[in-house]
Amino acid sequence: MLRIDFSKAEVLKSAFSAQAMTFCEPAVKNALVAVIDLLAIETGTRAAREEWQRAQINNLLAHCASRSSFWRRRIGSRNVKSLDLHLLPILRRRDLIAQVASEQSLLRAPDRIGVALHSTSGSSGMPTKFYVSAMNMEYNNIRGMAQYFIEGRELTKPKTLLQHSPEHFADGFNVERKGSWLYHLDSFFASGGTKHIKYFHPAIRKLATELARDEIGYLIASPRIIEPLLREAEEELLSNSGLSMWMPIGEGVDDSLREKFAQRGVPVRSSYSAEEVGLIASECEFTPGKFHVATSNVVVEIDRGEKIDMNGVELGRVLVTHLHSYATPMIRYDIGDFASLAAVCPCGHDGPTLSNICGRTKSLLKHADQSITPFYVRNSELLEIVNLREYRIRQTGYRTIKIELCAQDDVTQCQRSRLIELLKRHCTDSFDVEVQVVKEIDWGSDRKRLGYRCDIL
Ligand SMILES: [Zn+2]
């Protein structure tokens, strides 16, 4: 049976309202109810959840049919009230770009819901522009918080965010301390503070010392900064700094790096999200590598039309339907990744579960015969050859891999040859490797600054 009990949470002395006939302050009440809403959908019975999702899909399709000729063409003569999602065509990136260019937002001023224009961070080619609503932004905040309640994570731990930011800082980083990270519930539960560190080519020793100065708590950081930090101060950071959990952002986490955290009993918890739709799935707390789909936000399908074989596991394209995408509808949207999907998780969670997620920005090479193979170069392999400050590897053609690097010193001919040899070893085909030494990498609007991306997938 369900038991709701606040005895394990630190409810603040000033948590409740002083008003007559009132318990919680309205803002707190709304946030608590919103969290419970999402928990009920994502952890409740499958039948209820699927019924709710069907209703949401019908609502969204009816909205599309009434507001958009682009969507009317896709829906055709089908009845939106009983339409099977699988009958709609896949929404490719170019389709999305065309819809936004010709129709802008499908939520308009009379709807009285704020909209904002966002874009994906394409490191090359055309960034995808799309509209998000105020509801989407509110959802993302609440859903982020809900994960702490789903897993029963301690709210009193601090949060430390390491963010790559190309600015000039003394020692290459800047620390800002902020209040609670609990959003609207900060006046209700005792919660830890937020430490926001922006960095750009940081002095690693000094950054490690800065991190160890305070309890770290929940650490949100890219593997690319974690690797050098652990090389410098593994013991200090993993065992003696109050590190509760690492939530990697940006790129995938190498198994050997995960193992270092596992050895010290520090959980690593990734999430799978996309700028276009927000959260897609959260890593299972019991089975690393399995991701519970955020069913209050999206419906995920795997398209078997284009299968790939990843170390003996068959993967298909990830199609995402964002249930609240009223400003720019994303229905069966090809997000550019591959994965496998199971109906349930081995942990017992009765909901769709993704694994083997990989994609455009996640370590894949595309070949001229259209086959796709894994490609993963470790940071440490590059560092053994040259003392790098920053790098970016891209597949720019069927037979071309390009590496741009900023090095501390001049790059010798011998180092170049070794880099080319290393990258060729990682490609399963005979690729041409171009090495380009640059002063700074021009990331453009690419906020994620991924070490690798495939520009042709
Ligand atoms: Zn699970």
Q: What is the pLDDT of residues 164-210, one digit of tens each?
A: 887 899 999 999 999 999 989 999 999 999 999 999 889 999 999 99
Separation CA 291–CA 271 (nearest Å): 8
Separation CA 395–CA 367 (nearest Å): 10
For the chain of 457 residues, list the mean pLDDT of each consecutive stretch of 10. 90 96 95 96 97 96 97 93 90 95 97 93 67 97 96 96 90 95 94 95 94 97 90 92 94 85 95 94 96 98 84 88 98 92 97 87 73 76 85 89 87 91 82 89 70 79
| 8 Å CB contact between 303 and 89 | no
Residues with Cβ within 8 Å of 423's Cβ and at least 6 positions away in sequence, in order, are 377, 393, 401, 403, 431, 433
SS3 50: helix
| 8 Å CB contact between 386 and 405 | yes
Distance 291 CA to ligand 1 centre (A): 7
Distance 286 CA to ligand 1 centre (A): 6
pLDDT of residue 193: 97
Distance 345 CA to ligand 1 centre (A): 5
Q: What is the pLDDT of residues 341-397, one digit of tens each?
A: 999 999 999 999 999 988 655 577 888 877 777 787 877 788 889 888 888 898 989
SS3 150: helix
The rounded Cα 195 to chain-centroid distance in angstroms is 20
pLDDT of residue 388: 83
DSSP letter at 410 equals P
pLDDT of residue 231: 87
Distance 434 CA to ligand 1 centre (A): 42
Q: In what order do the strands lie in the sheet with 400-407?
A: 432-437, 400-407, 388-397, 452-454
142 membership: H or E segment, kind and range: helix 134-151
| Phi and psi angles of residue 365, each rounded to the nearest 5 degrees, phi first | -115, 140
Distance 427 CA to ligand 1 centre (A): 33
Distance 175 CA to ligand 1 centre (A): 35
pLDDT of residue 124: 44
- HSE-up (13 A, CA, CB side) for residue 377: 29
pLDDT of residue 308: 78
Dihedral, CA of residue 49, residue 50, residue 53 and residue 59, to nearest 10: -120
Distance 205 CA to ligand 1 centre (A): 37
Distance 347 CA to ligand 1 centre (A): 4
Distance 309 CA to ligand 1 centre (A): 24
Distance 281 CA to ligand 1 centre (A): 11
Type of residue at 109: A
| 8 Å CB contact between 327 and 108 | no
Distance 403 CA to ligand 1 centre (A): 37
Distance 414 CA to ligand 1 centre (A): 48
**Residue carrying the six token digits 């932004």:** 137
Distance 288 CA to ligand 1 centre (A): 8
Retrieve residue 320's tokens.
């995402």
pTM of the model: 0.87
Distance 392 CA to ligand 1 centre (A): 33
Domains and their CATH numbers in the chain: 372-454 (3.30.300)
Distance 326 CA to ligand 1 centre (A): 30
Distance 206 CA to ligand 1 centre (A): 38
Instruction: Return the exposure string of 302-340: e unless at least 16 CB atoms fall within 10 Å of the residue's CB, then b.
Output: beeeeebebeeeebbbbbbbbbbbbbbbbbbbbbbbbbb
